[in-house]
C-alpha cells in the first residue's frame, strides 16, 4: 500500500511535472510567439497599413501619420527610428490630439547601453507610455534605468505613469514639475484628456520624480550609464513650468525638447519668450560641434540646425511686434488680430498658434511696460 501509494504519488508527481513542463513550453512558445509577432510590427513589411512613415527621422520634410489602434494588444510597440547605433527616436505625428493619434503627437527617444536604457520623454498617455516601453523591449532586453522627462506638458509627460512600477528606475524631471502638479493647469489638462481618451488615461498619475533638477539656469547634472555620459541641463522656464535639455556627450546628440520646433509653428503658453531666446542662443554657442538635435516635435536635424534659427527668428519678430504695439498703445485685441507672418502661413499649427502666441507675448510686454514704469512723483 505504502509502496503503491508512493508509486501512485510519484506517478501523480510525474504527471503533474510533465503537465507543468508542457504548460511551460506552451507558455514559453506562446509568449515568444506573441512577443515576436508584436515586435514584427517594427518590421517595415508588417507595419499596419494606417501607419504612414517617412523613410528617415533625420532632415526629412515628411511627417509621420501613425494611427494608434486603441484595441492593439497590450505589448504592441510604436514605430521606432534608429538615429545612431544605440540611439532611437519615436517620431510623433504633427497634429492636435485626436482619436486617431490618441496623443502620439510628440517625440520621445531612448539610448541603449550595456548597463541599461535611458528614456527621454514618455509620450502623452499612460497607454502610449506603455507602448513606448514595449517598443524598447522589442529592441533590447536591457532594463530601463532612467526616465528623463524634459518638461511637464502632457504630450511629453503623461506617459510617465507607465514607468511607475519599473524596478530600479530613476525618474528625473525639472523642479517645476512639482509646481505644475499643484496647478489648475494640470487639472484642466487631465480632465480634457480623460474626456477625450478615457481608456488611455485610466492609470494616469501626476509624475513624481526621484530626482528634480533645480540647478541655476544652464547648470547641469551628469549621469553615467555604460559608456554613455549624459548631461541634463536646466534651460529655465522657457516653454513650461521648467525645461530640460539632454546631451549625449560622447555622440554630441542633443535632445532639445521644445526649445525649437521643427515642421510646425512654435507654441508659447507657459514659460517666457525672453528665456526662449536666451536658451536658444546658449544652445548654439555652447554646442558648436553638435552632430544632431532632436526636438520635441518634428524630425531630428543635422547642422546648421535651421529649426533653432527659424524658431528664434519667429519669437524675436513676435516680441518686437508686440512691444511696439504696447508702446503705441494699440489694444491687445487689435495687436493680436493684426499680426501675420506671411512666411509662416504654410507651416502646420500657424493658424492655431499665431494668435495665442501673440496674446501671450503681448501680455509679457504689457507687464514689462508697467514693471518699468517709473511714476514721476
Applying CB under 5 A, which residues contact Zn ion? 106, 153, 155, 258, 296
Q: Is the CB of residue 180 less than 8 Å from the CB of residue 186?
A: yes
Which residue lies nearer to Zn ion by CB, 159 or 296?
Answer: 296
Compute the least distance from the CB of residue 360 to Zn ion, in Å.
Answer: 15
Which residue lies nearer to Zn ion by CB, 113 or 349?
Answer: 349
Q: Is the CB of residue 278 less than 8 Å from the CB of residue 316?
A: no
Strands 243-248 and 253-257 turn out to be: antiparallel
- Percent helix, strand, coil in the chain, to 5, is 40, 20, 40
Q: In the beta sheet, which residues pair with residue 87?
A: 84, 111
Q: Which of 251, 254, 241, 253 is nearest to 280 (CA)?
A: 254
Compute the least distance from the CB of residue 79 to Zn ion, in Å.
Answer: 19
Q: In the beta sheet, which residues pair with residue 211?
A: 172
Which residue lies nearer to Zn ion by CB, 123 or 326?
Answer: 123
Compute the least distance from the CB of residue 153 to Zn ion, in Å.
Answer: 5
Backbone torsions φ then ψ of 50, nearest 5 degrees: -90, 15
Compute the least distance from the CB of residue 156 to Zn ion, in Å.
Answer: 6
Compute the least distance from the CB of residue 362 to Zn ion, in Å.
Answer: 22
Q: In the beta sheet, which residues pair with residue 18?
A: none
Which residue lies nearer to Zn ion by CB, 79 or 296?
Answer: 296
Which residue lies nearer to Zn ion by CB, 296 or 298?
Answer: 296
Which residue lies nearer to Zn ion by CB, 157 or 326?
Answer: 157
Q: In the beta sheet, which residues pair with residue 202?
A: none
Q: How far is CA 14 from CA 18, 22, 23, 218, in A?
A: 6, 12, 14, 66
Q: Which of 168, 165, 135, 169 is nearest to 149 (CA)?
A: 169
At 73, is the secondary structure helix, strand, or coil?
Answer: coil
- Interhelix angle 273-286/350-372, nearest 10 degrees: 100
Compute the least distance from the CB of residue 95 to Zn ion, in Å.
Answer: 12
Which residue lies nearer to Zn ion by CB, 153 or 174?
Answer: 153
Which residue lies nearer to Zn ion by CB, 113 or 353?
Answer: 353
Compute the least distance from the CB of residue 105 to Zn ion, in Å.
Answer: 8
How far from the centroid of its chain's Cα atoms is residue 275's Cα?
Answer: 21
At 41, is the secondary structure helix, strand, or coil?
Answer: helix
At 345, is the secondary structure helix, strand, or coil?
Answer: coil
Compute the least distance from the CB of residue 53 to Zn ion, in Å.
Answer: 20
Amino acid at each position: 500500500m505504502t509502496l503503491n501509494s508512493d508509486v501512485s504519488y510519484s506517478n501523480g508527481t510525474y504527471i503533474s511535472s510533465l503537465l507543468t513542463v508542457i504548460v511551460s513550453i506552451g507558455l514559453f512558445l506562446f509568449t515568444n510567439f506573441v512577443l515576436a509577432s508584436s515586435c514584427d510590427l517594427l518590421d517595415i513589411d508588417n507595419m499596419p497599413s494606417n501607419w504612414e512613415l517617412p523613410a528617415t527621422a533625420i532632415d526629412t520634410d515628411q511627417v509621420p501619420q501613425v494611427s494608434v489602434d486603441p484595441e492593439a494588444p497590450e505589448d504592441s510597440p510604436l514605430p521606432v527610428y534608429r538615429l545612431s547605433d544605440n540611439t532611437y527616436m519615436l517620431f510623433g505625428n504633427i497634429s492636435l490630439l485626436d482619436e486617431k493619434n490618441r496623443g502620439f503627437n510628440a517625440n520621445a527617444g531612448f539610448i541603449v547601453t550595456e548597463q541599461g536604457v535611458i528614456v527621454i520623454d514618455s509620450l502623452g498617455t499612460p497607454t502610449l507610455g506603455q507602448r513606448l516601453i514595449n517598443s524598447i523591449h522589442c529592441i533590447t532586453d536591457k532594463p530601463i534605468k532612467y526616465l528623463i522627462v524634459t518638461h511637464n506638458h502632457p504630450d511629453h509627460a503623461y506617459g510617465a505613469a507607465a514607468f511607475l512600477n519599473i524596478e530600479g528606475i530613476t525618474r528625473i524631471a525639472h523642479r517645476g514639475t512639482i509646481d505644475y502638479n499643484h496647478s489648475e493647469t494640470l487639472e484642466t489638462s487631465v480632465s480634457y484628456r480623460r474626456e477625450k481618451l478615457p481608456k488611455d488615461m485610466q492609470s494616469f498619475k501626476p509624475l513624481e520624480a526621484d530626482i528634480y533638477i533645480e540647478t541655476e539656469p544652464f547648470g547641469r547634472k551628469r549621469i553615467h550609464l555604460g559608456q554613455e555620459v549624459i548631461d541634463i541641463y536646466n534651460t529655465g522656464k522657457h516653454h513650461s513650468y521648467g525645461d530640460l535639455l539632454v546631451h549625449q556627450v560622447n555622440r554630441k546628440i542633443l535632445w532639445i525638447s521644445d526649445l525649437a520646433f521643427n515642421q510646425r509653428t512654435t507654441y508659447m503658453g507657459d514659460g517666457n519668450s525672453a528665456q526662449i531666446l536666451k536658451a536658444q542662443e546658449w544652445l548654439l554657442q555652447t554646442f558648436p560641434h553638435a552632430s544632431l538635435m532632436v526636438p520635441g516635435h518634428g524630425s531630428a536635424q543635422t547642422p546648421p540646425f535651421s529649426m533653432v534659427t527659424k524658431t528664434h527668428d519667429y519669437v524675436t519678430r513676435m516680441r518686437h511686434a508686440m512691444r511696439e504695439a504696447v508702446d503705441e498703445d494699440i489694444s491687445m485685441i487689435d495687436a493680436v488680430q493684426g499680426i501675420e507672418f506671411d512666411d509662416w502661413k504654410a507651416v502646420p499649427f500657424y493658424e492655431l498658434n499665431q494668435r495665442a502666441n501673440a496674446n501671450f507675448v503681448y501680455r509679457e510686454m504689457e507687464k514689462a511696460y508697467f514693471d518699468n514704469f517709473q511714476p514721476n512723483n
